[in-house]
Structure 1
Amino acid sequence: MKRRSLLECLGLTAVSAAAGVFSDRQADARATPVAEWPSISGPMPLPGDGLTGTQQRQTYRRISLLDRLEVPKGYRSDVVLTWGDRLGDGVMGFNNDYLAFTPLAPDRALLTINFEYISALNWCEGYLEAHGRSLPFAALEELLRQAGGRADIPALPSASPLRNLAEQVAQAALEDLGIGVAGLRRAADGRWRHEPTPLERRIHGLSGLKEPNQRLRSSGPAAAVFRKRNRLGYDDGLGDRIVGTFANCAGGQTPWGTVLSAEENFQSQVVEAVYADGSSPPPSQRPFQFTRQRVAGLGNPFGLAGNKYGWMVELDPRDPNKPAVKHTWLGRFRHEAVAVRARPGEPLVVYSACDRHSGHLYRFVSRRPVRDPRNPANSQLLEEGRLEVAQLKADGTGQWLPLSPKTPIDPFNSTQEEILGSPTQIEVPHSDRRRAGGEVLRSAAERERYRSLYPTLADLYNGEAEELQGAILIDAHLAANAIGATPTARPEDTDIDPISGDLLITFTMGGSDETGSPDPAIFRGPKGETPWPFGWVMRLSDAPADGTVPGGALQWRMVATGGTPWKGGLGFANPDNLAIDQRGNIWMVTDRSFGSSESDIFGKNACWILPRTVSGDQEAVLFASGPIESELCGPCFDPEEHTLFLAVQHPGEQHGCHQREQLEMQAFTLEDRSGQRFDQLRSVPLGSNWPSGVPGRPPRPGIVAVSRSQGGALLPPI
């Protein structure tokens, strides 16, 4: 990445601050070579590593990846919590993701933690050590095999051995997901450690199943659908109350002190498709499955209604007695993260994105304005407003489209179909409105026919007033496709740059599935390649929202591209979560998959810094890397920025528990800074033993605190 590209990424180019144009507010910036920033050595040459071409070839010709969290010299990482540790009335859940730091006093704080999903191999291997009890995994797997690999558990006799074992394992799995609040205390040495507090609690995937007072509340129009007596689909009998939360991926914090937790890949555990009135098909349509490689349909044994998952959940970590709320005005889709803009005198704006191939970028705009951004009553603003979805144009402009009944149907059609080599495919609500789910339109003629059948969203969905709007919000992804929202490249995090005011969005990869793909006119590699599987960072600026007038203009530009440096990338692959420090430096963690040479060349998932600087040809800084087959998630800081908290998720996900001397040799062809190619031989452990480091001991997800060994600011004056 050259100087101008990085300046754009960091919001340092001087451009107009008029509505819809990028801000020119700047931070103090320092002209320091990237080689002088705290960093570690990675798996490949980087332009900012300070080495000559000859030195790069010597350094990277043969390397070994290590099963540990690696940080720069002069830094340390301390494990704060791991899966199974006691937490309030429960325990630390599995596969920790998003982290939110809430100060209580100078040396006391709360850490809110998401627990996302079950990676079956790790969970089965480590459950006994984490929980101190065993589960009948082998017996369940055998009974399911005899039943054809899946089962509708509620349909089985109450005395069925399969039903008993399935309920037992599914309950344990769902209780290992959700949200946790942990107490922290800073010791005299300056390091944060877990300290139990009465404020600790767990909200898990079955909270409220047996104790109604623990159920979550729902707000907004979809709650009217939940209360509806006459419906096309399934009724769980709970009205607008909801059992539990799971698939909690990333999230965000509000200025008034609450935490927003995003339900992402809920479709693996409950039915995603809905009918025209917003109701769900019965849980039998998502039967229970369990093997040592895959767990699915966890909601089936308990009759969970699919339309009650896939929302944004708000909780107050400081008040364990206050019920969590699913705010349905923010839409139901595969939420990854959230960013909140609260300015006095303006509507509250909440940005979120749907992490799927062809997923969209959304914003919620409250009807009433914010008065005091720190007023806890601002939570009520999330209960009335509108949801909009982004339509991006290849020229860097775009607009917000309201997901409201009057919005015209106009399914997305790429402006550059020739890039695809075939007509644009887009999934829309099924044209037979007696059926749940969607159908894929594959031609201009099919799109035109669809428009003639259903001129507006009101013609696609059923219900009166609030119920109609609720049905649209429940089916937000397909409704957005139907009105022409731009399909994007698995949008992940959304964060507001506190200095420029722009919205930063990570897109983790350009790929496709049977229902669609990202717009190739926008999501392209450095030389126009499509698909480009390594991801991007986008900077977006939109006009101030109006609480009563829908829509609005926006401008966007790609400012960082993943990939190997010799192909025009920055050296990372698949950007995921972001955190922005007080100086405006961007901290970014990655989420690449394992098992292909195209992806494996990037080594371990890592934490990078994009420095806010104004001097020279700059590159990203590789600050830390995770254990083998893990992902680093949820970067966040304490208020003084002396500590960086990271969630280490799914160590050993591909191969499970590492056994001594269990290694794989990988070979790659790399290029040095002069363009000379050379071969690399790489030693890679199979599986992980993090955090114990003891061969044969199962890996466990956990939370780490990274700090300078001698204390003080994470980043010294640079």
Structure 2
Amino acid sequence: MALIDLPLLMKDAARGKRSAVTCALKCGNQCAFGPCNHSDNATFRDIASAALSRRAVIGGTTGALAIALGGTQGALADPGTGQGKGKGNGKSGALAPNGSKLRFEAIAPVDYMVDEFTVPEGFGWHPIIRWGDPLFEDAPDFDWNAQSAEAQALQFGYNNDYTEIQEIPGSNGKRAVMFVNHEYTNENIMFPAETDQDDVIEIGMAAHGLTVVELERKNKNFPYSYVRGAELNRRILLTEEFALTGAAAGGELLRTVEDPEGRTVLGTLGNCSGGLTPWGTLLSGEENFNGYFRTPGTSAEDARYGLADRATARGWEATHERFDSRTEGYENEPNRFGYIVEVDPFDPTSTPRKHTALGRFKHEGANVIVAENGKVVAYSGDDEKFDYLYKFVSRDSYVEGDRAHNLTLLENGDLFVAKFAGNSPASEIDGSGEVPADGSFDGTGEWLPLVVDGESAVPGFTLEQVLVHTRLAADAVGPTKMDRCEDVEPSLHSRRVYVACTNNSDRGTTGKAAADEANPRSENRDGHIVEIDEQGDQTSTTFAWNLLMVCGDPAQGDQTYFSGFPVEQVSPISCPDNLAFDAVGNLWISTDGAPSGIGFNDGLFRVTLDGEDRGRVEQFLSVPRDGETCGPIIRDTDRSAFVSVQHPGEDGAWGEQVSFFPDYDGQGPKPSVIQVLPQRG
């Protein structure tokens, strides 16, 4: 008998080849219950969640001390001995775009049943840390058959997603600190079926949360390894106190019997992507929190957030009252999740914070960039079919070197939601994805205000209601419904903002929003990328936009678009999810769900953004069966890249595992953080 008995509806809900288990455990199988957004708003929602370019110079940990950024564009590790095989298809040229040092021959796509981590010829891959690896000196080594909540609380968590690496000042590039989200768990492949159900719940809870861990390497020519017992190592669990900030903190909607003041929350849930701030802290997005709560399900607020009166997959509500908001005193507990969390990885004693000023919804993540006038701007996408793209502009300005001040910048500011308009005749947008007569998908947009100067800009909503019931407030002002905008990343090279719209199988179906120029395909299986240009002012309320690509596999007859680049010369790509930039400004895309689209394992891809090769897509790596490619970090100056491999072997079961990544020891799969770099010798 399975430890989590998924209802038939959940088992049958996934489309294509993607695991239905992933849909059930990751997002509460929301697609099976239909979209949460039943408003009459326009049909385009997109690029919002991009906030910083991870390469920005970071203010010091205390005054002038500078932190060297590691994120999507820092200085990373280098060649190692290597595992796995490289498979080149010869489609890439010898020279990398924009003079990048990370040169490779694009790999051929890998069939979705293959349980291999595949890299280009001449490269190797190296696990940095795996689920269950002990973080502290007193932590026990992982044992498949002897797990406990006490042990898991001292070990690396499950399903690593967003990942960030920053060099430790003064270490000469030999030491770094890594931050990782743990989004969700799959107990059916984690434990023997006879494991006590109470133990399953407690261990699963301990496998959620966040990890901070130190890394070390001999020099840049060797891969990183994690340091057991290091000073900065930290596990942030569901028992840890988080401080609420912003105007909603202390409000009536956030108070519970355990926190009558509405200012302190235990833990964080559904942590998906994130971002690195210019002052060196990490942002984590609370995404699919609804799948952890049982609620009355009778209010408009519950319905809009996918909260319902039905048993959850993991059943935490049976043993922990706070996950059952039908219980007196816990009615507001779900209102305390769905925020952007900020963590200081350089201070293990610091209290993580949840910023209500950025709104409450299913945040994929948030990325911050300092605007031309010094304000901090954070972009965030609401990762649900037909939901919206948001932008936050800080009240106060960034001050270089004043870390204490900068740590307050996300506590107060203005909040906006995006509305898009295309410039082609509606007759040319027929849902097929065919390019309009002017040769591109493009148009203009505006940021509609939700909060301005500390006051609600939405008639009928108080400020607290806007920040806690943000989806409903946004519905009231008429933004554009989008195709699941996930990661949103601004480029520090061009200051353009890129939004990954992963897919939307309901687009254009009966009773649902029709295709429009920003979401040009009905039943959008493969997703697309939106490029936003705020034309020199990140705080502007207007913008121009275009689609960089409409994804798919041209060889299978898919209607695709790659900014005019010949479709027969691109690597097939489906379901874009996380975005990153390298040191010279090329875009990198990790995918989530490609098996359900083009039938290949998910991977990591490089995209040229400028010049005659704009739109060229080259696949760099492929992850194992059922796995998702998360948290990409590109260090092309060292010819290296990092990814988090989430939910490998998701469709297996204890005793019937379908993946054995990364150790291939016959035990079972372990989500892991992987470094790819040239092979030595």
- Mapped partners of 2:671, 2:381: distance in 1: 25
SS of 1:534's equivalent in the other structure is coil
Of residues 463, 476, 480 in structure 2, which corresponds to 1:486?
A: 480
Q: Secondary structure at the match of 1:372?
A: coil
Contact 1:170 1:298 in 2 (8 A): no
Alignment correspondent of 2:278 = 255
TM-score normalised to structure 2 length:
0.70
CA distance in 1, matches of 2:294, 2:535: 37
Shift in alpha-carbon separation, 1:516–1:332, aligned structure 2, 3 A: farther
Q: Map Cα deviations across residues 644-686 of structure 1 (whole Å, 9 max, x no partner).
A: 1111100111234686xxxxxxxxxxxxxxxxxxxxxxxxxx8
CA drift at 1:224? 2.9
The one-character-per-residue Cα deviations of 1:137-190 (angstroms, maximum 9, x if unpaired) are 4xxxxxxxxxxxxxxxxxxxxxxxxxxx3xx43332221111100110012452
The residue number in structure 1 matching 2:516 is 521
Contact conserved, 1:174 with 1:246, CA < 8 A, in 2?
A: no
* 2:204 matched residue in structure 1: 173
Number of the residue aligned with 1:538? 530
Task: Tell me how far apart the structure 2 counterparts of residues 93 and 249 of structure 1 sit (CA, whole Å).
Answer: 13
Partner of 1:398: 445
Q: Is the 8 A contact 2:482 2:519 kept in 1?
A: no
Residue 25 of structure 1 aligns with which residue?
Answer: none
1:538-557 alignment runs, 5 A limit: 538-542=530-534, 552-557=541-546
Cα pair 1:314 1:324 within 8 Å, conserved: yes
Contact 2:386 2:483 (C-alpha < 8 Å) held by counterparts: yes
Distance across 2 between alignment mates of 1:228 and 1:247: 19
Q: Contact 1:579 / 1:586 at 8 angstroms: preserved in 2?
A: yes
Residues 244-323 of structure 1 correspond to what in structure 2 (within 5 A)? 244-270=267-293, 288-289=311-312, 294-295=313-314, 301-304=320-323, 305-323=333-351
Q: How far did 1:299 drift?
A: 9.0
Match of 1:135 among 195, 198, 210: 195
Distance apart, 1:346 and its partner CA: 2.6
- Could you tell me how far 1:40 is from its partner in structure 2? 4.8
- Root-mean-square deviation (CA, aligned residues, Å) is 3.5
**Does residue 102 of structure 1 match 2:162?**
no
- The residue number in structure 1 matching 2:243 is 217
Cα distance, 1:587 vs. partner? Answer: 1.3
TM-aligned CA distance change 1:644 to 1:228, over 3 Å: closer
Q: Does 1:362 align with 2:390?
A: yes
**Structure having the higher Rg:** 1
Correspondence for 2:660: 689
Q: 1:226·1:240 contact (CA, 8 Å) conserved in 2?
A: no
Match of 2:120 in 1: 72
Instruction: Return closer, same or farther for 1:275/1:235 CA change in 2, 3 Å cut-off.
Output: farther
2:645 alignment partner AA? V
Q: 1:91 aligns with which of 138, 147, 155?
A: 155
Partners of 1:644 and 1:563 in 2: CA distance: 24
Change in Cα spacing, 1:641 to 1:335, as seen in structure 2 (3 Å) is: farther
Structure 1 CA distance for aligned equivalents of residues 346 and 523 of structure 2? 45
- Name the CA distance, whole Å, in 2 between partners of 1:545 and 1:65: 46
- Confirm whether residue 203 of structure 1 aligns to residue 233 of structure 2: no
1:121 and 2:160 aligned: no
> Paired residue for 1:469?
463
Q: Is the 8 A contact 1:116 1:247 kept in 2?
A: yes
Tell me, yes or no, if the aligned pair for 2:394 and 2:410 is still in contact at 8 Å. yes
- Provide the rounded CA distance (Å) in 2 between the counterparts of 1:394 and 1:706: 40
The residue type paired with residue 561 of structure 1 is V
Counterpart for residue 445 of structure 1: none
Q: 2:196 is matched by which residue type in structure 1?
A: P
Q: Which moved more, 1:468-477 or 1:320-329?
A: 468-477
**CA distance 1:387–1:80, shift in 2 (3 Å):** same
Residue 372 of structure 1 deviates from its aligned partner by: 2.0
Deviations 1:614-654 (A, max 9, x none): 34686311110001111110011459544311111001112
Partner of 1:349: 377
Equivalent residue of 1:624, what SS?
strand
Question: Structure 1: which 5+ runs fail to align?
Answer: 1-31, 45-62, 128-133, 138-164, 209-214, 410-455, 462-467, 660-685, 712-718
**Counterpart contact for 1:114–1:180, Cα < 8 Å:** yes
**In structure 2, do the counterparts of structure 1 residues 408 and 346 end up closer, same or farther at CA, with 3 Å as the change threshold?**
closer
Q: Distance in 1 between matches of 2:636 and 2:187?
A: 36
Amino acid at match of 1:92: F
Partner secondary structure for residue 295 of structure 1: coil
Amino acid at match of 2:660: N
| 2: CA distance, partners of 1:602 / 1:280 | 33
SS in 2 for 1:704: strand
Matched positions, count = 521
Quick check: 1:647 aligned with 2:644?
yes
Q: Give the drift of 1:545.
A: 6.0
Per-residue deviation, 1:238: 5.8
What does residue 628 of structure 2 align with? 631
Offset from partner CA, 1:386-441 (integer Å, 9 cap, x none)? 111001112211111111399999xxxxxxxxxxxxxxxxxxxxxxxxxxxxxxxx
Task: Write the mapping of 1:668-707 to structure 2, written as runs, cut at 5 A.
Answer: 687-695=658-666, 697-707=667-677
What displacement does 1:694 show?
3.4
The CA distance in 1 between the partners of 2:126 and 2:204, in whole Å, is 27
CA distance in 2, matches of 1:511, 1:476: 24
Does the aligned pair in 2 maintain the 1:353–1:361 contact within 8 Å?
Answer: yes
| CA distance 1:35–1:543, change in 2 (3 Å) | closer
C-alpha displacement at 1:286, in angstroms?
Answer: 5.2
Q: Are the aligned partners of 2:412 and 2:454 in contact in 1 as well (CA < 8 Å)?
A: no
1:555, distance to aligned residue in structure 2 (A)? 1.1
Alignment of 1:49-68 (within 5 A): 66-68=114-116
> Is 1:591 equivalent to 2:622 in the alignment?
no
- Cα distance between partner residues in 2 of 1:64 and 1:535: 18
Q: Distance in 2 between matches of 1:392 and 1:327?
A: 27
Percent of residue pairs identical: 28
Q: 1:284 to 1:343 in 2, by over 3 A?
A: closer
Residue 359 of structure 2 is aligned with which of 331, 339, 345? 331
Pairing 1:501–2:501 present = no
* Distance of aligned partners of 1:367 and 1:531 in 2 relative to their CA distance in 1, 3 Å threshold: same
* Superposed displacement of residue 327, structure 1: 0.6
TM-score for the superposition, normalised by structure 1: 0.66
Equivalent residue letter for 1:393:
A
Match of 1:434 in 2: none
Structure 1 residue aligned with 2:225: 193
Shift of 1:237: 3.5
CA shift in 2, pair 1:101/1:516, >3 Å: farther
CA 317–273 in structure 1, closer or farther in 2 if over 3 Å, else same: farther
Q: Given the superposition, is the C-alpha separation of residues 399 and 690 from structure 1 closer, same or farther in structure 2, using an over 3 Å criterion?
A: same
1:496 positional shift: 1.0
Work out whether 1:184 is the aligned partner of 2:215.
yes
Q: Secondary structure at the match of 2:492?
A: coil
**1 or 2, which has the higher helix percentage?**
1
Q: SS where residue 654 of structure 1 aligns? A: coil
Equivalence for 2:599: 602
Residue 505 to residue 698, structure 1, CA distance change in 2 (3 Å) = same
Counterpart for residue 576 of structure 2? 575
Q: In structure 1, what is the equivalent of residue 4 of structure 2?
A: none
Task: Report the CA distance between 1:342 and its aligned residue.
Answer: 1.2
Partner SS state of residue 224, structure 1: coil
| 1:386 corresponds to which of 414, 423, 433 | 414
Whether the 8 Å contact between 1:221 and 1:470 is mirrored in structure 2 is: yes
From the superposition, tell whether residues 575 and 279 of structure 1 become closer, same or farther in structure 2 (CA, over 3 Å): closer
Give me the whole-angstrom Cα distance separating, in 1, the residues matched to 2:360 and 2:249: 12
The alignment partner of 1:572 has SS state of: coil
Letter of the 1:482 counterpart = A
